[in-house]
Amino acid sequence: MEFPNFISGPQFPEGNFVSFRFKDSEITLRLPIIPNNDDTRDNVCVERDFSDGNTSSWDDCLTNRIKELVLQSWNYMDDVTHDDVANCFMEVHVLEHRDIEDGDLRFLNGDSYIEYFLKLIKDDHEGAEPETRPGWPTVENDFLIRRVKKPDIDGFQVLLKRCYGPEMYPTPLAFFPLGKNLSLKITFEFCSLHYAGRKNPYSDEMLHKLKAELFDEFLSLVNIEYSQDILALIAARSEG
Amino acid sequence: MSVSMARTSKSDGFIFFSPQTLGHVGRTVKIHTNLFFDFLCSVNPHSAEGQMVIRDIESLRSLAENKATAAFDPIGGRNDSAEHIQRKHKIQETLKRMATIAHHKKLALENSLITKNVRVYYNIYIRETDICPTVYISEIQVINKGNKEAGGFYEATTGAFGGKLIKAAKCNLEGKTVFVSAATATAYDAMKDAQVVSKGINSVVFFNPPSVTEDLTFGKKNRLTETTQTLVKEFQATLRDNKDRTVNWVVAGEGAALLSHALDGSNENLEKHSFKFVNPKADLSDLLQKLSARKADMGNDFISIDKALKNSAFSSMMVIATQKDALMTRLTNLPLRKMPEMGLDVNPETFLRLDLLKKVSDVASLGALTSIARLPQALEGKSISFIEAVMRVRTR
């Protein structure tokens, strides 16, 4: 992807291929190559094979279990001034939904998967202060949900408020099914950076447009391959 | 042109910036040895960003501007008579000479270069030991970057889709572990540091934005800016509201200095509060005295260095090294925590405290660190450039 103006930073298509195996699927991500700086993070889970289905060591997160696969943080820089102009904080998790029973196949279809998740997200926002800013994600506009096409089962992305400071923009999150009861969750925090006494030459609007483009590009490079059993179930569901 | 490093390296505390700035190509660039500590703590030469800062400073060989000279470039209209132009040149010649004298008196206009988080101030002039105009770097300012998030208490809540961070107006800290962050770029960064340190999710995070660094740098007794004062007041109010509650504080980096300021304005009894410090950057001897006076609980292992927080571990070790003697005395004199009878003749706390003393002493006595205090003087007259010395001290 071509960055606007003089912005430079890690390119996803030049990133490292990193794969993780699960009971029903295998994912391959293109993780950006992060420059070694004091304020960058580059933590990739060393365990790559979770195909035995044992999730007992994963963290509890309400009804789910969660495992961090990737935590990366890096900056985008202006090539002329060498100033860092934006910071990106990307997390990739896998969620095990313990409320999904063994015979429940709703994750194997894009529509039912999205319907299930959207209800969860709305429930999670019950009682929250209503958002009044135009163009911001709300329960009414389904958090600006967008379907993300994948060959076998579609995922989706939404915008959620994760950090509630007055200047903070909503964070894009994406979810993809990884089998009968597993989901891939990708979070993409992005904020503009300011040095004391210096003005960031790029507007917030422009940087948040860049954020959306970067996230789309990262998602387009996520590859999910399901096991033969799951593919057979998907085929049976679509025929039925 | 060949310049002998040994011949010109000693010059009122200035030494060559790097092997690239000896004057073989472009101007010579020198830097004052007193800037060693500041540079060491703010620029990591083993990082991509640090390398960029070094290359940018080296580029002063060709890019350094001499404002005094530039101001007197010839001016003249097309229709000026020869006599008029000659008179103008004469005036300019006089002004240039005056400027040169000013240079020699170190009164020349100061220039600055901003690169990443560093601003260097420099002059160009010729000293007795120089054979050509030389760039002299006399000051370094560290500029921090961040987004516009407000500092203070944030509550981390666990939703179905991971954590959320909400700015808290008032906190009930009963039974909670509160992480007081080092100066970090974003509140989210602070929350992640909290998770790294505590290996779990902290429910409350006190986020210190990067702006506090300038106020809370160890050794500087600056007046606090309004932003930092607001943070200190928020901290004091929360401490007051929670004085009778059981709270576990985990304090990182500059957070220790902020805590120290907050304690200045409160005399609360902190018996129910326990404190742990990770990579602290503060006058620790003074801080421990304040906490001890308020009966705060400091367990067995309340000071630690965590290299997983890579932006604060090194500078914290430096801070500990520079105050070793005072800190060791304070640690030795701190009262031991009462332990339940365990059928031993000696309170086991004694052994644990001895262990902490040894750990702190080890950090403060690392070969490279102990010699840092003497390095600025030791560097003068040596055939080693500023950056080479920085690289030797700051290991990966």
Q: Which of B170, B325, B155, B179 is nearest to B258 (CA)?
A: B179
H or E stretch at B114 = strand B111-115
Residue B148 in contact with partner chain A when CB distance is under 8 A: yes
Q: Kindly tell me if the per-residue pLDDT of B354 is higher than 70.
A: no
Residue B100 in contact with partner chain A when CB distance is under 8 A: no
Which residues in chain A are contacts of B48 at CB distance < 8 A?
35-37
Return the DSSP state at A46. Answer: S
Which residues in chain B are contacts of A62 at CB distance < 8 A?
158-160
List all residues of chain A from 197 to 236 with a beta carbon under 8 Å from chain B.
197-198
Highest mean pLDDT of the ranges B76-80, B235-239, B300-304: B235-239
Q: How confident is the model at residue B155 (pLDDT cuts 50, 70, 90)?
A: confident
Q: Minimal Cα–Cα distance from A106 to chain B, Å? A: 18
Residues 6+ apart with CB under 8 A from A48: A18, A19, A20, A21
List all residues of chain A from 95 to 134 with a beta carbon under 8 Å from chain B.
120-121, 123-124
Helices in chain A by DSSP H: which ranges?
Answer: 110-124, 204-220, 228-239
**Sign of the alpha-carbon torsion through B228, B229, B235, B239:** positive
Integer Cα distance of A70 and A72 in angstroms? 6
Task: List pLDDT tens digits, range B172-199.
Answer: 888 888 999 998 888 888 888 888 887 6
Percent of chain B with pLDDT over 70: 74
pTM here is: 0.82
Task: List pLDDT tens digits, range A33-63.
Answer: 999 998 899 999 999 999 998 999 998 877 7
In total, the C-beta contacts within 8 angstroms joining chain A to chain B are 116
Q: Minimal Cα–Cα distance from B115 to chain A, Å? A: 6
What pLDDT score was predicted for residue B70?
A: 44
Q: Are A24 and A226 in contact (CB under 8 A)?
A: yes
Interface test with A, best of B47, B141, B147, B192 (most A CBs within 10 A): B147
Interface test with A, best of B40, B46, B149, B161 (most A CBs within 10 A): B161
What pLDDT score was predicted for residue B318?
A: 79
- Which position has the higher pLDDT, B367 or B264? B264
Task: List pLDDT tens digits, range A177-197.
Answer: 999 999 999 999 898 998 888
Residue B143 in contact with partner chain A when CB distance is under 8 A: yes
List all residues of chain A from 144 to 203 with a beta carbon under 8 Å from chain B.
160-168, 173, 185, 187, 189, 191-198
| Displacement of CA A181 from its chain's centroid (Å) | 18
Which residues in chain A are contacts of B159 at CB distance < 8 A?
62, 124
Cross-chain residue pair A197–B143, CB shorter than 8 Å: yes
Cross-chain residue pair B56–A165, CB shorter than 8 Å: no
Q: Minimal Cα–Cα distance from A240 to chain B, Å? A: 32
Q: How confident is the model at residue B3 (pLDDT cuts 50, 70, 90)?
A: very low
Integer Cα distance of B353 and B180 in angstroms? 24
Residue B243 in contact with partner chain A when CB distance is under 8 A: no
Residue spans of beta strands (DSSP E) within B200-353: 204-208, 247-252, 273-278, 303-304
Cross-chain residue pair B162–A62, CB shorter than 8 Å: no
Q: Are B58 and B21 in contact (CB under 8 A)?
A: yes
Task: List pLDDT tens digits, range A59-96.
Answer: 887 778 999 999 999 999 999 888 999 999 999 999 99
Task: List pLDDT tens digits, range B20-57.
Answer: 999 888 899 999 988 888 888 888 899 999 999 999 99
Q: How confident is the model at residue A30 (pLDDT cuts 50, 70, 90)?
A: very high
Which residues in chain A are contacts of B56 at CB distance < 8 A?
82
Which residue has 């644990």 as its token pair?
A: B352
Q: Minimal Cα–Cα distance from B375 to chain A, Å? A: 24
What pLDDT score was predicted for residue A168?
A: 67
